Amino acid sequence: MDYSTLKGHHSHKAEALDFVDFLNASPSPFHAVHEASTRLEKAGFEKISEKDEWHLKKKGKYYFTRNGSSLVAFVVGDKYQAGQGGFSIVGAHTDSPCLKVKPISKKENVGYIEVGVQLYGGGIWHTWFDRDLGIAGRVMVEQNDGTYKHTLVHIKKPILRVPTLAIHLDGSANEAFRFNKEVHMLPVLATTAKSALNAKKDDKSWGPNQVKNHHPALIHVLAETMNVEARQICDFELCLFDSQPATLGGLYDEFIFSARLDNLGMTYCSLMALIKSCDNVSDESNIRLISLFDNEEIGSTSAHGANSNLLPTTMERILSSNVGSKSAPKNIKIAFEQAVHKSFLISADMAHAVNPNYAEKYEENHRPQMHQGTVIKINANQRYATTAPTSLILREIARQKEIPIQEFVVRNDSSCGSTIGPMLSAKLGIRTIDVGNPQLSMHSIRETSGVDDVKNGTDLLKAFFELFPSVDARVFVD
């Protein structure tokens, strides 16, 4: 699909358009993981399960998911030997700030049907007012044989909206937009009058408490979209999203306007870097791996977040297999510790581009620009995990491939966000660097990034997978 406003594609634009397709197919973490899985399988990756024993082989390409919202994919180098090789890892996250449907969402007020929502993450919530909102996520659907299946739903139609109060009733609206997150951020689904006119006969065999918990109109639209009966819907995790599709914009089609750029931007670059480098492993002595986590926006402490056992247990299971040797290492704990110190992690999470209307908010020597390369993020207080050696390694990789790089540091009078980098660096003891492509309006419902940076970010991570072992062999610290 052509989302551009002008013709004349080049390699950067072609990659950006593919990213736009990825964005539009990924309104929730569950959809992002599904889309990533589809692309991995097209590239020849084999799906495995954490429930099963793994039989790995050299040049093997594998992936698995956890909770349907996190994904790990890896490629075994042809020269990998257990006990000698390490891991070349890129970590990103699949979640973004959003509104999530409450377990009991049914609300009616002064002739309107509303949907109760929870605020997920640290969104710029005022940007969610007066937007056309769809709904997406996963539904647990009862099958005819009595089993229950995780099923995706994506309602692209704008069925919800959070209305602002008219300025005539609030003269201070342009001075300070104040609102109560519990009372004023309730999306409107329908009027009670139209709902009554369009009501369907209730099915008394509906799933447990669905009529009590959610309005029948919501349940029916979910059922119709998934082509199942309303009674089959037993539970769900749904998020609201901006139904306006991602698109290229600006006079020269140099921008990407979209929701969820943080962090589907680096999720996409990580995924495509692994796919594009997966068949070039004849001289590879490492395991190339990406880990796409859920729940970063709320601290990562979940069974499928970066603060879980997802990454360390994956590494241990790979090491405990006999790939690259006649038998598995006798002492997995020692083998793991040795491998960690031969490994490297890139924490890939979007970065802040300088905002021309608020340039004074940025440190004067660290104002990242769009189209000028992926940003290395540095913080003296370890809000980012970058160190001099890790920065050197990535800079050298970028230099060899002539890929642009920038730097970002916050002002001393500014707060600083963080990433999965410091958390995983501390958990594993692994060398880590924080990077990200520059963007504007981070955590808004509608963000902006640069077209050229999609290819810049993908190329940098691809170069990391291909060059890290050789560059690392020339760096001496401990």
Residue-wise pLDDT tens digits, 62-89: 999 999 999 999 999 999 988 789 999 9
Mean pLDDT along residues 368-383:
97
Looking at the predicted structure, is the pLDDT value of residue 206 above 80? Answer: no
pLDDT level of residue 176 (50, 70, 90 thresholds): confident
Read off the pTM: 0.95
Coil, helix or strand for 96? coil
Looking at the predicted structure, is the pLDDT value of residue 232 above 60? Answer: yes
CA distances in angstroms from 260 to 25, 264, 352, 399, 414, listed in the order given: 12, 6, 14, 30, 24
Coil, helix or strand for 227? coil
Neighbours of 399 (CB within 10 A): 12
Looking at the predicted structure, is the pLDDT value of residue 94 above 70? Answer: yes
Pairing of strands 188-191, 351-352: unpaired
Q: What is the pLDDT of residues 283-340, one digit of tens each?
A: 999 999 999 999 999 999 999 999 999 999 999 999 998 886 777 778 889 999 999 9
Q: What is the pLDDT of residues 19-50, one digit of tens each?
A: 999 999 999 999 999 999 999 999 999 999 99
pLDDT at 1: 46
Q: What is the mean pLDDT of the chain?
A: 94
pLDDT at 173: 86
Coil, helix or strand for 385? coil
Q: Quick check: 91 and 74 in contact, CB under 8 A?
A: no
Q: Residue 362: phi, psi to the nearest 5? A: -110, 145
